[in-house]
Chain A
Amino acid sequence: MNKEQLKVDPIKNGTVIDHITAGKALQVAEILNIPNSEREIMIGVNLSSRKMGKKDIIKIENRELSKEEAGSIALISPTATLIVIRDYKVINKFGVDIPEEIHQHVICPNTACITNIEAVETRFELAGKTPIEVRCSYCEKKYFIDEVKFRF
């Protein structure tokens, strides 16, 4: 464990989300429904990073993330790495993958789109990776990820 991570206590069991794009931690926390969680959680914002200059970090006690949750994090911060901790030891460490299809969480910015009119779960497909672009499966309009809003 390096000095940066020692700024906050290590966790016994759970997940560290490292290398979050600086300033995006609160958005990631929202995706994971952290504001409503009773767990012990530490959020670091604008920590200095050798690799990234600045980064955010989130440590969550007693929670391991699903593949879908990891995919959602990738939409906000594709640079994030997930570190699974058990008994203070790193068990697994991996990058997040942007999902090919995103259900429910993305709101279509097109006000003339059926998903903003009828009760229907949104569905977006990945249309580009650098920068991330998504296409609404209903109105077929394409958006950069920064142009869309999320709902969790």
Chain B
Amino acid sequence: MKNLISMRDVSKEEILKLIDLADKIERKEITVDMTGKLAALLFFEPSTRTHFSFETAVKKLGGNTFSMSGTSSTSVKKGETLADTLMTISMYADIIVMRHIIEGAARFASETVDIPVINAGDGTNQHPTQAMLDLYSVQKTQGTLNNLTVGMVGDLRLGRTVHSLAQALSDFNPKFYFASPRHLQMPGYIKDDLKAKNIEFTELEDIKEVMHELDIMYVTRIQKERFAVLEDYEKVKDSYIISKKLLEGVKSNFKVLHPLPRVNEITKDVDDTEYAYYFQQARNGVFMRQAIITELLNLIPR
């Protein structure tokens, strides 16, 4: 593995290898030393959460970072091409972590520079480290990735995290329930991919009726600004709020995941239940990002 650009490039074996590595790092079974190495964190599109997570991961490995957030004060504004910016930075850094609003920017970066590139989000396209930390969270809570029943709730049309997770899990024989308002349904191309792999999925408007079947519920935020008519939003918003009451009668291994930030789609009273897992999920992100950097920089002690 030289870069991490898209979950489409990551094989089932590589997923399992990274999960195993993250687990060993979390348990301190191995020590990875990134001393003397420098990660360039290039957030052309700002994202505090992902930025901090990567920064934590690099520093916990003993490495160092330099960062950019936004494009207002950079060479980008002076009209330098992305290729030139990246080439120059690759002369300083050992690895590039990049978020950009332009789709395909990370793939382009990986083809431009000789050092490893990690895609930290390219527009509406991919966010593979999020998908990997979601998989790690599923593995940790369920003990397996195989044969799970997963409910995805909220805005399934534009949420790239649910797209990547659905695709990544499709190698592990899942059963999916997709609950969303009608015009925020899972896009056709994702459903086509699932059909091609014979993955069972059901689309519904209310998750309530299948709660007792779920191992994992992945919740995403329904964004008010996506609705043309406010009344339409008002109509659906409450059917996708996950409250403690909704969780009555779920399986004992059941967990709620959310990529965060949350607004009101999971009520506060869920936080104290044994089913809430979203903050641990964020913590898992650091271990998984440590594992990905370790793998790409070949830091694993032999």
Contact = CB atoms under 8 A, between A and B. Distances in A.
Interface of A: 110, 112-115, 117-120, 136-142
Residue with the greatest number of chain A CB neighbours at <10 A, chosen from B82, B83, B104: B104
A139 B123 contact: yes
Closest 5 CB pairs of A and B: A138-B104, A139-B103, A114-B104, A139-B104, A114-B108
27 contacts: A112-B102, A112-B103, A112-B124, A113-B102, A113-B104, A114-B82, A114-B102, A114-B103, A114-B108, A117-B82, A117-B102, A118-B81, A118-B108, A119-B81, A119-B83, A136-B104, A137-B104, A137-B107, A138-B104, A138-B108, A139-B103, A139-B125, A140-B103, A140-B104, A140-B125, A141-B103, A142-B189
Contacts of A120: 108, 111
Contacts, number: 48
Contacts of B126: 140
Interface in B71-100: 81-83
Contacts of A138: 103-104, 107-108
Interface of B: 6, 8, 81-83, 101-105, 107-108, 111, 122-126, 189
A147 to B, nearest CB: 13
**Interface majority SS on A: helix, strand, loop or mixed?**
loop
Nearest to A122: B104
A144 B44 CA distance: 31
A42 B295 CA distance: 58
Contacts of B8: 140
A35 to B, nearest CB: 32
A58 to B, nearest CB: 35
A141 B126 CA distance: 11
Contacts of B108: 114, 118, 120, 138
A100 to B, nearest CB: 15
A112 to B, nearest CB: 5
A89 B30 CA distance: 72
